Amino acid sequence: MSEKDNIKLKTDTLSTRKSGSPALGVHVKRKRKIIAKPAIKDQKINDTSVVEKKENSRPSEDKIATTKSITKESPKISEAYVIDNKTPKKQKIDKDEKIEKLENKELHLKLPKQKKDKNNKNKSDIKDMAPAHKFEKPTEPIKRDVKISQSMTVAELANQMALKNTDLIAKMMSLGVMATVNQSLDEDTAVLITEEIGHNPVIVKDNEDEITAPTKIKITDGQPRAPIVTIMGHVDHGKTSLLDYIRESKITDTESGGITQHIGAYRVKTNNGEIAFLDTPGHAAFTSMRARGAQVTDIVILVVSADDGVMPQTEEAIEHARAANVPLIVAINKIDKENADQEKVKNDLAAKNVIPEEWGGDTIFIPISALTGEGVDALLDSVVLQAEMLELKALDKGSATGVVIESSLDKGKGPVATVLIQNGLLNKKDFVLVGQTFGRVRALFDEFGKSVNNAGPSTPVVLTGLSATPNVGDQLISTDDEKKVKDIASSREKKQKEIDMQSKQKNFSIESFGNSANNKKIINYLIKTDVQGSCEAIISSLKSIENPDVGLEIIYSGVGGITESDINLAISAQAHVIGFNVRADSKAKKLIEMNDISLNYFSIIYDLIDAVKYDLSGELEPEVKEEIIGIATVKDVFRSSKLGAIAGSIVIEGTIQKDQQIRVLRDNTVIYEGELESLRRFKEDVKEVKSGTECGIGVKDYNDIKSGDQIEVYKRTEIKRSI
């Protein structure tokens, strides 16, 4: 007989029973079906405290144990109750009652029936002791909050909705959306699909954990800062001359064509304090750049020439200022000219709802002369007064934020960006996130090229150390977390590539179909510029050129000189190459000569736009203008073996000329179009016959002419079309 079959009672248990002292016995009753009830804090019966009957006897359902044998490591007990020896009364144990308090009482436990394995051995596995649980299927569909990002793939959307990729694709097909599992979906499509399936779309911004910094400061926060002033106006109305006078430097003479070629930012000291100026281009072509200037500015100075008055770019500047919700100060320039008319300027602007203060409006008008300096001090006083009313403030420490005003690629310094700091303090060696680029500030320079250690609010500064050239208008944020700026910049770049790819796919499917159907001719261009601002302005201008018969495609644009790789791309795409204030290197020049590539350099945007329009105009079919020069009525028809049918006619209008195109009309219906082959007056051949004169007309390759028909003679003239 095995040791297990002859388990004996513990000494303490037997002695207690012999002495007649109150003993604590445990009686366990097994049940096949157990209803789960709160257990007594995971307590257990130790094997050493259990007494089982012999194997040959009938299996007992009673197990006896002392209270000491019940421990916290025991499996859960579904139900327990006690019987007091003194007063035999069944009493359930509260789940929070401690075992130590149950002396002189019998403890009864209800446990699930133990299973037997293949060898008929009882299992005491914890899983067998625990009550069974059943999964209940939800009665209603689960509605999830699905996070929709700007560009997410089909697989990502399926994962958010707990669907198989194939099931989601099938559902999309039923909605008319065709996409592969790894294809990106735009935001609107993802929202539509999510709603159709029955979930709640939640639109989230990509990189919600991105670095953030305060961009707007309450009036009670921060320190007073210098106002940021944008100078706007029509070309050659004197914007740069005004800024030049204020800065007491000569930059206007070096500008091509008298126009500022890209946005500049300058901080100047005046008798009334410091002011940060933005100098925006005056051409209508630079609408987008000027709009960016208005978005970062506090006050707009609108320069209007007293002799020219309100021009198209003047009106655009007014609209940008209104859109940015910034106050406007009008500087009527060139008052020293003889034909200056300030009242006309005021009347024209009042018609645009820009009303002077003296007329009951809220706009300050200051007459000035940027040439002599007359009125400039009064203008600056008005700027300072307006800034005081705005109560401009910013934090002068902590993480810096700013906006890229200009960017370029320098051979010695690499990517260079001009940034206007709006808040905080930018220091050397700070890590910065700028749009899709990042880097560590290697050097800082002010507008005069002087190296500085830091830059505070309302300060324009040139920085180096970026990974790539940023776009004009990108926001700068400084931090001390290098890994985070790298990850965010990489994520932004990836998302932008996906968006660009989707845009190209849409353009290919829609535009290419339209172009092939209409036989629209396309000219490809590759554009390289000196700075990013000029590049964006040129592209914006060229994209505005529209014509139903001919168009252009910018296959590539960038900042920097024209390289060998640029020319190779142009060769493969058969593109025209344009350089704006940049030149081709020696290797690129050799390729250009070998492959006969069209290359043109420009320094004035007007010239560049005109040249592109000329190229496009050359691809247009000439316009054919038709002019009726004479009409004759057929009186009789004569037949000749040599000449065929000869129409005896009288000219009733204009002049009939030989070798011209004709139409034969019968009952006002054209029955034949051809050429006038012969023209005779009596028996003589003549070149023309005037109105009221009879003649004989021979129509080439047509003999079915009849009396009463009309012969209409016309001339076709080809007119060259232009854009």
Query: pLDDT (tens digit, 9 = 90+) per residue, 58-90?
Result: 444 444 444 444 444 444 444 455 444 444 445
pLDDT-derived band at 645, boundaries 50, 70, 90:
confident
CATH number, position 558: 3.40.50.10050
Whether pLDDT at 54 is above 80: no
Q: Which of 90-94, 179-183, 370-374 has the lowest mean pLDDT?
A: 90-94
Contact 115, 157 (CB under 8 A): no
Q: Which of 240-254, 504-518, 598-612, 651-665 has the lowest mean pLDDT?
A: 504-518
Beta partners for 625? Answer: 717
The top-scoring range by mean pLDDT among 125-129, 245-249, 297-301 is: 297-301
- Give the count of alpha carbons within 13 A of 57, CB side only: 8
DSSP string, 499-557: HHHHHHHHHHHHHHHHHHHHT-EEEEEEEEESBHHHHHHHHHHHHT---SSEEEEEEEE
287 in the same domain as 163: no
Q: Could you read off the pLDDT of 657-666 as tens digits, one per residue? A: 988 899 999 9
Contact 287, 316 (CB under 8 A): yes
**pLDDT value, residue 136:** 62
Residue 9 lies in a domain: yes
pLDDT-derived band at 499, boundaries 50, 70, 90:
low
The top-scoring range by mean pLDDT among 33-37, 214-218, 409-413, 691-695 is: 691-695
Q: What is the CA radius of gyration of the chain?
A: 46
CATH number, position 636: 2.40.30.10
Residue 218 lies in a domain: no
From 600, 618, 636, the end of a domain falls on 618
Beta partners for 102? Answer: none
Contact 716, 626 (CB under 8 A): yes
How do 44-45 and 70-71 pair as beta strands?
antiparallel
Nearest to 456 by CA among 423, 414, 489, 408: 423
pLDDT-derived band at 598, boundaries 50, 70, 90:
very high
Residue 212 lies in a domain: no
Beta partners for 267? Answer: 276
367 in the same domain as 272: yes
Q: Which of 210-219, 469-478, 507-516 has the lowest mean pLDDT?
A: 507-516
580 in the same domain as 545: yes
Whether pLDDT at 524 is above 60: yes
**pLDDT value, residue 242:** 87
**pLDDT value, residue 332:** 93
**pLDDT value, residue 450:** 86
Average pLDDT over residues 386-392: 89
Average pLDDT over residues 473-481: 87
Axis crossing angle, helix 532-543 with helix 605-618, rounded to the nearest 10: 40
Whether pLDDT at 163 is above 50: yes
378 in helix, strand or coil? helix
674 in the same domain as 556: no
Average pLDDT over residues 94-104: 47
CA-CA distance, 555 to 571, in Å (whole number)?
A: 12
Contact 365, 426 (CB under 8 A): no
**pLDDT value, residue 489:** 81
543 in the same domain as 429: no
Average pLDDT over residues 539-566: 88
Residue 505 lies in a domain: no
Q: pTM for this structure?
A: 0.55
395 in helix, strand or coil? coil
109 in the same domain as 53: yes
Instruction: Provide the domain limits for residue 642.
Output: 623-719
Whether pLDDT at 463 is above 90: yes
CATH number, position 295: 3.40.50.300
**pLDDT value, residue 59:** 42
CATH number, position 169: 1.10.10
Average pLDDT over residues 616-632: 89
539 in the same domain as 469: no
Average pLDDT over residues 507-529: 66
**pLDDT value, residue 601:** 95
Beta partners for 70? Answer: 45
Residue 673 lies in a domain: yes
Q: Which residue has the higher pLDDT, 207 or 392?
A: 392
**pLDDT value, residue 611:** 93
430 in helix, strand or coil? coil
Residue 135 lies in a domain: no
Q: Give the distance from CA 40 to its chain's centroid.
A: 61
pLDDT-derived band at 124, boundaries 50, 70, 90:
very low
Q: Which residue has the higher pLDDT, 684 or 577?
A: 577
**pLDDT value, residue 207:** 52
Whether pLDDT at 26 is above 60: no
**pLDDT value, residue 223:** 87
CA dihedral 290, 294, 296, 299 (to 10 degrees): 130
From 393, 410, 443, the end of a domain falls on 393
Percent of the chain with pLDDT over 90: 22
Average pLDDT over residues 101-107: 48
Mean pLDDT value across the chain: 76
The top-scoring range by mean pLDDT among 139-153, 217-231, 344-358 is: 344-358
Average pLDDT over residues 188-216: 72
**pLDDT value, residue 151:** 67
642 in the same domain as 685: yes
426 in the same domain as 320: no
**pLDDT value, residue 405:** 84
**pLDDT value, residue 91:** 52
**pLDDT value, residue 356:** 92
Whether pLDDT at 1 is above 60: no
**pLDDT value, residue 221:** 67
From 370, 393, 416, the end of a domain falls on 393
**pLDDT value, residue 244:** 81
Q: Could you read off the pLDDT of 284-332 as tens digits, one per residue? A: 434 554 445 546 888 999 999 998 888 888 888 888 888 778 899 999 9
294 in the same domain as 355: yes
Axis crossing angle, helix 586-595 with helix 564-573, rounded to the nearest 10: 20
Beta partners for 279? Answer: 231, 264
Contact 665, 682 (CB under 8 A): no
Whether pLDDT at 48 is above 60: no
Whether pLDDT at 651 is above 90: yes
412 in the same domain as 388: no
Domain count, the chain: 6
CA-CA distance, 208 to 205, in Å (whole number)?
A: 6
Q: Which residues contact 678 (CB under 8 A, 6 or more apart)?
A: 643, 646, 658, 685, 696, 697, 698
Residue 213 lies in a domain: no
Contact 517, 488 (CB under 8 A): no
